[in-house]
Structures are given as C-alpha cells and as structure tokens.
Amino acid sequence: MADLRLTNVAKSYGDVDVLRDIDLTITSGEFIVFVGPSGCGKSTLLRMIAGLEQITGGTLEIDGQVMNDIPPSQRGIAMVFQSYALYPHMTVRDNMAFALKIAGQSKDQIRAATDRAGKMLQLTPYLDRLPKALSGGQRQRVAIGRAIVRDPKVYLFDEPLSNLDAALRVATRIEIAQLKASMPDRTMIYVTHDQTEAMTLADRIVVLAGGGIAQVGAPLELYERPVNEFVAQFIGSPAMNLLPGRVKATGPMTTVTLDGGLEAQVAIPTRPGDEGMEVNLGVRPEDMREDGGASVFEGTVDLTEALGEVTLLYFGTNAETAPIIAKLPGIHPGLNGRRVRLSADPQALHLFHKGQSLLYRDGADLPPYQPRMASPSGSMGSTPAFPDGGGDRIEDGVIKPVGPVR
C-alpha cells in the first residue's frame, strides 16, 4: 500500500513562491496526472515528491510516514525523466542494474531482475548495447525499465513522452497504460502538458495553475464540470468558448441574454435575485451544432479548417478577444465568409461568474459525477446514467450505445 498525502505543501525560492497550499491525497494504485501551463510548478511538485527538491512548507507522507527529510532513494519511488537520463557509459543492462548494485543485491538477483524487465519492455536483444545505439523510443523504455527493476511503490514520470515523435508517443503512451494495468497496486504520478496523455492515462487529473491546485477530478469530470474558466479552457481542444451575457430568468433552467442579443437556456440552476448578474456562457466548440435549434451564437465564418473528421469554424479572428471556434462533425465546404447560426444543447453549456463556475457556488458538494448521457436530465449526473450499471450494451457483437449525447 502506498498512500501519498500532501498537506499544505509549499515551495519557494527565496522570496518567490512557486507552489503553496497543495493539499492532495493519492490512494494506492491510482494513476494521477499533473497538468498545467508551463511554469505552473507541476514538475517542481513531482521533484518534491521525488526528493530532488527541498519541500519548503507542509508535509509529504507516503504510507503515513513523513518523507520531507528522507533521502530520495529511501522513499520507495522511482522516476522516469523527460530526457531519459540514461547513464551513457553503461549498457542497457547496467543502466537497469545500477540501483540494484548500489543496493547490494547478488549477481543472480540482478540478472533475473534485468532479464525480466528486458522481456517486459521488449529490450532483450538490446541489453548489451550502449544507450547511444538505441532509438528514442527504446531509450525511453530503458528509462522505464530502470524504474521497474527497483519495483517501487510509486512511479514518477516527468513528461516522459515529450522527446518522442508523434507516432511513437501514442505507442509509448499505450505501453505505459498497459504497464499500469499490469501493476494495479502501484501508484503512478505523471506530469505532462499534453491533454491527450492526461485524459487517456489518468484516473484523476490534477490541474495546477498559479501556484496551486485549480481542480482535481476524473478526466471526464474536469471536461464536463470544470470548476472555473481556467480549467474549462485548459481541458479540451480547441478551448471552450466564453460568451459574455447576463442572467435573464432564474430557476432550475437559467435563461441568459448574450451580448449579441441572443438568448440561451442553460441547465444550471440559479437563485432568485441572480437576475442581471454578469456571466460568461461557456460552450465547447464540439458542442456547437448546425441543427437549427435555438441559436446561442451567430457570426460570419472568417476561416475554416477541414480536418476530414471535423471542420473547425473560426469567428472573429481579427477581433481583440479570442476567436470563437466551432467544431462541426464531418466535412462542410463553402462556409467561408457566410453568416451562420449555431445552437447548443442546454445540458452541454456552462455558466461562469467572475471566472468561477456557478455549478460550484455552494461548494464542491455536487452529486457524484457521472458522464453526461442522452437522458434529458443527465447533464450534471443527477440521474443514474448507466441503467445497467455499465455503459454501452453489446448485442450479438453490435454496440448499442446508451449515449453520450454527441
């Protein structure tokens, strides 16, 4: 068991606070991903857990033991670096064996451990090569192998895929996911700035911003119930559109008058007295559709990007504010320069007041998160979304979707 608990953890370099008030509990066997813009301190936080950076405030506990002043090698962790950090003068086998040799294990034990790791990572033919004779992907696998042979309780990954090309990144990502699946009781903490990696690998994502934690939650929870505008725009690509407006009518469904004059229904409750409140209506590009429903947006298409699977429409690219982007499924030729109206499902809309989501105005005690489904009131997880308790049904090998809406 390797529960990891961060309490009020802070990091400062002299007068400069990099991180403060980090409270986070990671349970054994979880795959946690730290994401955030560059300079948000996510790598620093990982290095503090590793013991490579001094913790200047708060406590770090692993398995209930305070680790602040325990040397890195005795914390039961192993780390995979972005630059692989292989020892260039040692063969693949010696790279993996180094920690075991230092620990004083016998030759047979070391040989068995490196053989096993080599087999696991398909490195057996390369065990006697030097790192310089390996490809980038192989080097990264050696770096992972070096962590595996030590059989740590906690694996730390510091942007391990950043130095790989796109195809290899996908392949290695899947390998890491499989590695995790093969070791369900090992905790993994993974730092990345790549959303796809975060969404696909994580049990829970920790979004870091401005020296603190912005939100912690399951990937889809962050996607569908972001706590503030920052998380809303950070998760999802292209970023969520924010349309300024005012609350017109309150109730379980809120009516918002947008600055352009259009009105939108949002399935987020507001209280009497909220009328006239300034809000930002958040709508994801992929939630905007051309089905002729009640419009939430009208504008002239400045630019289209056809990706085949989807078409991106850009509005207001010349304006000082960020352009509005819509992502329509399929191919849509000939929209450039045309004026179009787009609608959105009220369940898929978000409301922010002064940057904070109105969904969380009474604190974070929301009903447990369920992915948004086709059922009418399923947006915020108020009804059980999986009637059979398990998502899509399969009949005769054919997928019978329960939904999501899209």
Nearest distance from residue 102's CB to another protein, in Å? 5
Q: Which of 103, 133, 171, 322 binds another protein (CB under 8 A)?
A: 103
Nearer CB in complex with another protein: 55/288: 55
Nearer CB in complex with another protein: 82/237: 82
Nearer CB in complex with another protein: 102/398: 102
Q: Which of 12, 23, 54, 89 binds another protein (CB under 8 A)?
A: 89
Q: Which stretch binds another protein (CB under 8 A): 84-92, 111-119, 343-351, 371-379?
A: 84-92
Q: Are 36 and 45 in contact (CB under 8 A)?
A: no
Q: Are 303 and 336 in contact (CB under 8 A)?
A: yes
**CA–CA separation, 162 and 190 (whole Å):** 12
Q: Which stretch binds another protein (CB under 8 A): 27-35, 48-56, 238-246, 309-317?
A: 48-56
**CA–CA separation, 201 and 195 (whole Å):** 10
**CA–CA separation, 150 and 107 (whole Å):** 15
Count of CB atoms within 10 A of residue 216's CB? 19
The residue behind tokens 């007295």 is 273
Q: Which stretch binds another protein (CB under 8 A): 98-106, 263-271, 301-309, 388-396?
A: 98-106
**CA 56 to chain CA mean position, Å:** 27
Q: Count interface residues toward another protein (CB under 8 A).
A: 26
Q: Under the criterion CB under 8 A, does residue 86 sit at the interface with another protein? A: yes
Q: Which stretch binds another protein (CB under 8 A): 86-94, 245-253, 318-326, 359-367?
A: 86-94
Q: Which of 21, 57, 63, 81 binds another protein (CB under 8 A)?
A: 81
Nearer CB in complex with another protein: 146/284: 146
Residue 366 has what DSSP assignment?
P
Q: Under the criterion CB under 8 A, does residue 109 sit at the interface with another protein? A: no
**CA–CA separation, 98 and 109 (whole Å):** 13
Q: Under the criterion CB under 8 A, does residue 78 sit at the interface with another protein? A: yes
Nearest distance from residue 66's CB to another protein, in Å? 19
CA-nearest of 47, 83, 4, 42 to 191 is 42
Q: Are 371 and 385 in contact (CB under 8 A)?
A: yes
Structure tokens at 382: 């108020």
**What is the amino acid identity at position 17?**
D
Pattern of binders to another protein over 133-152, x per CB under 8 A? Answer: -------------x---x--
The residue behind tokens 């914390």 is 75
DSSP 103-152: TT--HHHHHHHHHHHHHHTT-GGGTTS-GGGS-HHHHHHHHHHHHHHT--
Judged by the rule CB under 8 A, the positions of this chain that interact with another protein are 50-52, 71-74, 77-79, 81-90, 98-99, 102-103, 146, 150
